[in-house]
A and B are shown apart, each in its own frame.
Chain A
Amino acid sequence: MAGSKTILFVEDDRPISEMYARLLIKAGFEVDFAYDGLEALAKSATKSYDLILLDIMMPGKSGIEVLHELRKNPGFNATRIIILTNLAQDKTSQEAIRSQADGYLVKADIIPSQLMAVVKEILS
């Protein structure tokens, strides 16, 4: 059982985040939600997460900006950060590689059970 592993799900579209989180919660992960970039930074500052799933297009701060700030802080070295976005262009994918994301997933191409498989593997 994954049990103690914590995940911060950063996504401004609630139905989408609830849909993806549903199977993760059922599998025993502890999932918190943030609905924009600033909230994501605030929450991650107060609690240590094993994994942050990060959308890109959000009001306020974009996921890429959040990624930059988190990666500047050595306190987040152990935190896995996976981009989960609708932007399928190579350009943003390359940007995510440069910004030291641990993964880049396109929402339209991944169903919840696939996401769960990826998360289970990365946190194992």
Chain B
Amino acid sequence: MQPTAFKRQTLALFFIVSLIPALVVAAVWYLQTSSSNTAVLIVSFKSFILPVMLLGIIPAVLLSFIFAELLTRPIRTIHDAVSKLADGNFLHAGDTDQEGEFGEIGLSLIQLSRVLEQTLSETKSQSDLVAAERNKLRGVLNSMTDGVFALDAAGRIILFNHAAAKLTGRTIAEAGGQLAEKVIPLRQKGELVMTRWLATERGADHKVGQWDGLELYRADGSSLYVNVQAVVLPHDPNGIDALITFHDVTAGHELEEMKVDFVALAAHELRTPLTEVRGYLDILRHDLKRLTKDETSLLNHAVSSAEQLGGLINNLLSVARIEHGEINYLPEIINYRAFLIELMAALEDRGRLTGRKVSLKLPAQVPNILADTVGLREIIRNLVDNGLIHTAPGGHVVVSVEQTGSLITTHVSDDGEGIPPGAINKLFTKFYRVNELTNPTRGTGLGLFICRQIVEAHGGTISVITAVGKGTTFSFTMPQAPIAPSDKAGHNKITTRGAHGWIKDHSVR
């Protein structure tokens, strides 16, 4: 039997029982009124009707209690269940009634509770996973020896690992929320190169920037040299706009500086004896008038080698000065035709001594240019030397000039061995030499590095066109002098600055 049905029958039975006294009273009442005897009626009321009525009230009261209980209990159960749920406890099968309309509501509540419980437990396990991953990431970041930090779109630090804290001398708490350039100012010759790069590349998908030897000032005022790599991360869910790693290369940098200083010192010390070697060889060439062809050749060989040695020493000193930022170029108006003719006299001589031909091809009009004479001379000397080194005996090196708008391009071409394509990218870097293994004695790998530094310091560019086995052409640009070319070249205050120093011109004294 269904429990609900049982309850309904019990209810009906109680109802009928409670009706019996009322029916009895009604029957007696009918009999009395039909006999019209008032006395009997009153007597009967006292002795019979009153007890019967009282008898009827008791089950009625009982019945109402039962009714009330039966009606409110499911509502209370539902209320308790909902309260329990609201308190954050999940419901189980016995927490609500199973029968009737309220039973169905109860079942629905339990179902809801179950779904809720399941969803919440899934979310919890996911967030546990996320937390575990985050801890793992933090562990990895903090165990790294490279500094790592992340920036938000406003350039503020939102992640900072232990190595970054150690390298910068600032705590993670100090760095958080600060602008990167305040906490980690990474400079190249005083410029905040990375900050500037990030400003222009912001939002560029996974674009990577790299800088070597940036200077980093620590919290205590000391400085480090670091190699830096930055990657731009647009649309990152964690709000990371850029992720930057930096590696301490101070020890290597200091070693490099010591190397440059040592080389500069050694080169300087070599200059004095070399001056004498070159000087006495020069005197011999002038003094000894009647030499056999063989003797002349021997002497020329010695002169050529001394010149080459002089060039190498000058390059070593130039690199040291470039590395220390000590070179100040003073651009002045140069009569380029006169300058080239004077310079080429020495270079043609050098070509002759090495069994190669150096020549100059000038157009009808050569404009004046704006450049530092010492620097300009060094560029051309290095490019011609380079051509002589990489050309077989009997080869040619040609210097020519071309004007394009306000730019003067100077070409130095040779018909030598050419440069393999793979080597072109590294050509202008320090100490790089093509065919290092096959030609270990040719040059220091400094000439082209110096050329590029000087050309770029003048705001010009240097480029190369080459074909293996056919030859190479180096081209560099210099700005045209602002004043129209005239025959006033001879009236420059200093006419021969750059050739071997400078001498004042006396025509204007």
Q: Which residues of A contact B (CB under 8 A)?
A: 13, 15-16, 19-20, 22-23, 26, 82-83, 86, 88-90, 93, 102-114, 118, 121-122
Which residues of the partner chain B approach A121 to less than 8 Å between Cβ atoms? 503
Within 8 Å by CB of B278, from A13, A104, A111, lies A111
Contact A108 B506 (CB under 8 A): no
Contact check: which of A19, A102, A110 meets B276 at CB < 8 Å? A19
Chain B interface size, under 10 / 10 to 19 / 20 to 34 / 35 or more? 20 to 34
Nearest CB of A to B170, in Å: 39
A-B contact pairs, 11 of them (CB 8 A): A19-B276, A23-B283, A90-B327, A103-B504, A105-B500, A108-B275, A110-B501, A112-B286, A113-B282, A118-B500, A122-B506
Mark B319-349 against chain A: 1 for CB-CB distance below 8 A, else 0. Answer: 0000000111010000000000000000000
Q: Does chain A have a CB within 8 A of B310? A: yes
Complex CA gap A63/B92 in Å reads 105
Residues in B neighbouring A20, C-beta threshold 8 A: 279
Tell me the complex Cα distance, A105–B499, Å.
9
- Tell me whether A112 and B283 are in contact (CB under 8 A): yes
Residues of B within 8 Å of A113, CB to CB, are: 282, 285-286
Please list the 6 inter-chain residue pairs (A to B) with the smallest Cβ-Cβ separation, ordered nearest first.
A105-B501, A103-B503, A110-B500, A111-B282, A108-B271, A19-B279
User: B313 interface residue, CB < 8 Å from A?
Assistant: yes
Shortest Cβ distance from A122 into B: residue: B503
Q: Which of B278, B330, B502 has the most chain A CB atoms inside 10 A of its CB? A: B502
Contact A107 B504 (CB under 8 A): no
Assembly CA distance A99 to B259 (angstroms): 36
Interface status of B496 (Cβ within 8 A of chain A): yes
- Residue among A20, A82, A93, A107 with most chain B CB within 10 A: A107
**With A93-B502, A108-B313, A110-B500 given, is the CB distance from A16 to B283 under 8 Å?**
no
Chain A residues contacting B279 (CB-CB under 8 Å) are 16, 19-20, 111-112
The CA of A82 and the CA of B286, in the complex, are separated in Å by 24
Dominant secondary structure of chain A at its interface with chain B:
helix
> Given A102-B503, A105-B501, A108-B314, list of 13 further CB < 8 A pairs?
A15-B276, A16-B276, A20-B279, A22-B283, A23-B283, A89-B326, A90-B330, A93-B501, A105-B503, A106-B501, A107-B271, A108-B274, A111-B278
Residue B216 is within 8 A (CB to CB) of chain A in the complex: no
Is the Cβ of B502 less than 8 Å from the Cβ of A103? yes
Nearest-neighbour CB distance to chain B for A13, whole angstroms, equals: 8
CB distance from A33 to the nearest CB of B (A): 16
Q: Does any Cβ of A come within 8 Å of B150's Cβ?
A: no
Listed in ascending order, the chain B residues whose CB lies under 8 Å from chain A are: 271-272, 274-276, 278-280, 282-283, 285-287, 310, 313-314, 317, 326-328, 330, 496, 499-504, 506
- Which residue from chain A places its CB closest to the CB of B372 in the assembled complex? A90
CB contacts (< 8 Å) of A93 on chain B: these are: 501-502
- Chain B residues with CB under 8 Å of A23's CB are 283, 286
Complex: A102 Cα to B494 Cα, angstroms: 9
Contact A114 B500 (CB under 8 A): yes
Q: Which of B271, B286, B310, B500 has the most CB of A within 10 A?
A: B500
Q: CB distance B502 to A108 under 8 Å?
A: no
- With A15-B276, A16-B275, A111-B278 given, is the CB distance from A102 to B313 under 8 Å? no
CB distance from A90 to the nearest CB of B (A): 6
Look across to chain B and name the residue whose beta carbon is closest to the beta carbon of A109: B500
B501 in contact with A109 (CB, 8 Å): yes
Contact B500 A102, beta carbon cutoff 8 Å = no
Tell me which of B272, B275, B286 has the highest count of chain A C-beta atoms within 10 A of its own C-beta: B275
Most A CB contacts (10 A, CB to CB) among B279, B280, B285, B317 go to B279
Residues of A within 8 A of B330 (CB): 90
Give, as a whole number of angstroms, the nearest-CB distance from B328 to chain A. 6
Bound CA span A118–B504, Å: 11
Chain A residues with CB below 8 A from B326, complex form:
89
- CB-based nearest A residue for B326: A89
Give Cα A115–Cα B506 distance, bound, in whole angstroms: 17
In the assembled complex, which residues on chain B have CB atoms less than 8 Å from the CB atom of A22?
A: 283
